[in-house]
């Protein structure tokens, strides 16, 4: 592909990317002229053979050595040697790396960047911060507490005009964790309003809840599955809804991708994140903050208030990559 303004930089992204959001960063870099940009997707790592897997079992049982971690390091270094010396390397959620390995990475780049898409309470990277040339966090409170630059997540989709929200259906896709009792409570409120809703709960332990559904009527609207949703399936479910539910983890103030998916798809958002009202795109017609406002039928009856681009331009992916990589 020919670009009007080619950028000679070499940029590498390293992340697990379990949900598929991170790949859009590399796509955007290439669209903006950084052709030599690549992604080491750690969730693609597989044991080279059955013997290496058995070795890992042995080390787990009889030693403290994390053999899988060692193999993953070697996987990264092999690809680093293939891609060559980089102008910039971005690590997303670097908590799984040791300070020693971060130092090795620094030898492969002019500028090493970290982006924290998790709260320090959940994934602590304080011991690594000084190793990076630049650190960003999606969490407002962490940015204040640890003097890190705050940078929210990004809109990876364009705005898709939704002129036909004539039905009411709330959807949520979440992992099975400490938030589950909140979903039960929100479901009760939606039932009282006679608002249709489906809550997908993902996780191996959640599957056991399918047995409880046999006698617990409150779980009827829940879909428990051990299989993660691909991004295509997730977006399809969101498109067939009128509102997206966003329930924060404990001690988190950062905006989840659900907020930006609701913006892009022009879906209403019901959220427990009180910090959302600080942002330019906040509109009480479109966003209801649980804990501050009562969940009423009026929220669903009012049509979606379309936003001007100036309300969300700074959250578009192109703006995000320019900020992170100083382009």
Instruction: Return the CATH number at 221.
Output: 3.40.50.2000
One-character DSSP codes across 296-319? -HHHHHSPP-PPPGGGTGGGBHHH
139 assigned to some structural domain: yes
State pTM to two decimals.
Answer: 0.90
Co-location of 151 and 175 in the same domain: no
Split at pLDDT 50, 70, 90, the class of 251 is: confident
Domain that holds residue 192: 169-308
Co-location of 295 and 244 in the same domain: yes
164 assigned to some structural domain: no
In this prediction, what percent of the chain has a pLDDT beyond 90?
67
Co-location of 176 and 128 in the same domain: no
User: For 255-314, how does the pLDDT look when each residue is reduced to its tens digit (9 = 90+)?
Assistant: 999 999 999 999 999 999 999 999 999 999 999 999 999 999 999 999 999 998 888 999
pLDDT at 164: 58
For residue 51, the 8-state DSSP code is: H
Co-location of 192 and 251 in the same domain: yes
User: For 76-97, how does the pLDDT look when each residue is reduced to its tens digit (9 = 90+)?
Assistant: 999 999 999 999 999 999 998 9
162 assigned to some structural domain: no
Whichever domain contains 132, its CATH number is: 3.40.50
Going across the sheet that includes 169-175, the strands are 222-225, 196-202, 169-175, 243-246, 268-271, 287-289
Judge contact between 198 and 221, C-beta under 8 A: yes
Co-location of 42 and 80 in the same domain: yes
Co-location of 122 and 216 in the same domain: no
Co-location of 182 and 142 in the same domain: no
301 assigned to some structural domain: yes
163 assigned to some structural domain: no
pLDDT at 166: 56
pLDDT at 280: 94
Structure tokens at 279: 């942002």
Q: State how many domains the chain has.
A: 2
Distance CA 216, CA 224 (A): 14
pLDDT at 231: 87
User: For 98-145, how does the pLDDT look when each residue is reduced to its tens digit (9 = 90+)?
Assistant: 999 999 999 999 999 999 998 888 888 889 999 999 999 999 999 999
117 assigned to some structural domain: yes
Cβ partners under 8 Å of residue 242, min gap 6 = 165, 167, 168, 169, 170, 267, 268, 300
pLDDT at 7: 82
Judge contact between 138 and 255, C-beta under 8 A: yes
Judge contact between 160 and 265, C-beta under 8 A: yes
263 Rama class: left (phi>0) / alpha (psi -120 to 50) / beta: alpha
Q: Is the pLDDT of residue 5 over 90?
A: no
Residues in the chain: 327
Co-location of 188 and 89 in the same domain: no
Co-location of 297 and 173 in the same domain: yes
Co-location of 143 and 176 in the same domain: no
Split at pLDDT 50, 70, 90, the class of 3 is: very low
Cβ partners under 8 Å of residue 61, min gap 6 = none
Co-location of 64 and 105 in the same domain: yes
3 assigned to some structural domain: no
233 assigned to some structural domain: yes
Q: Is the pLDDT of residue 60 over 90?
A: no
């Amino acid at each position: 592909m020919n670009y009007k303004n080619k950028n000679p930089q070499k940029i590498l992204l390293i992340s697990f990317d379990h949900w598929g959001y991170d790949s859009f960063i590399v796509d955007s870099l290439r669209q903006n002229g950084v052709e030599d940009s690549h992604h080491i997707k750690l969730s693609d790592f597989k044991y080279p053979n059955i013997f290496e897997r058995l070795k890992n079992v042995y080390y787990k049982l009889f030693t403290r050595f994390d053999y899988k971690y060692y193999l993953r390091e070697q996987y990264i270094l092999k690809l680093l040697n293939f891609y060559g010396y980089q102008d910039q390397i971005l690590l997303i959620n670097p908590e799984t790396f040791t300070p020693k390995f971060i130092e090795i990475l620094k030898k492969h780049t002019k500028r090493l960047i970290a982006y924290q898409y998790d709260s320090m309470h959940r994934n602590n990277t304080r011991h690594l911060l000084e190793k990076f040339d630049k650190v960003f966090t999606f969490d407002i409170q962490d940015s204040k507490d640890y003097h890190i630059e705050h940078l929210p997540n990004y809109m990876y989709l364009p705005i898709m005009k939704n002129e036909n929200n004539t039905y009411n259906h709330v959807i949520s896709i979440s992992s099975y964790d400490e938030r589950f009792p909140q979903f039960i409570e929100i479901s009760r409120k939606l039932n009282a309003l006679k608002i249709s809703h489906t809550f997908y709960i993902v996780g191996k332990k959640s599957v056991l809840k399918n047995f409880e559904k046999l006698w617990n009527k409150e779980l009827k609207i829940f879909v428990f599955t051990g299989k993660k949703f691909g991004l295509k399936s997730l977006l399809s479910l969101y498109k067939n809804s009128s509102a997206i539910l966003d329930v924060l983890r404990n001690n988190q103030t950062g905006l989840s991708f659900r907020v930006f998916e609701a913006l892009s798809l022009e879906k209403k958002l019901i959220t427990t994140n009180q910090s959302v009202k600080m942002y330019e795109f906040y509109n009480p017609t479109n966003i209801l903050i649980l804990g501050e406002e009562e969940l009423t039928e009026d929220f669903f009856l009012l049509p979606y208030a379309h936003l001007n681009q100036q309300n969300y331009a700074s959250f578009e992916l192109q703006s995000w990559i320019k900020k992170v990589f100083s382009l």
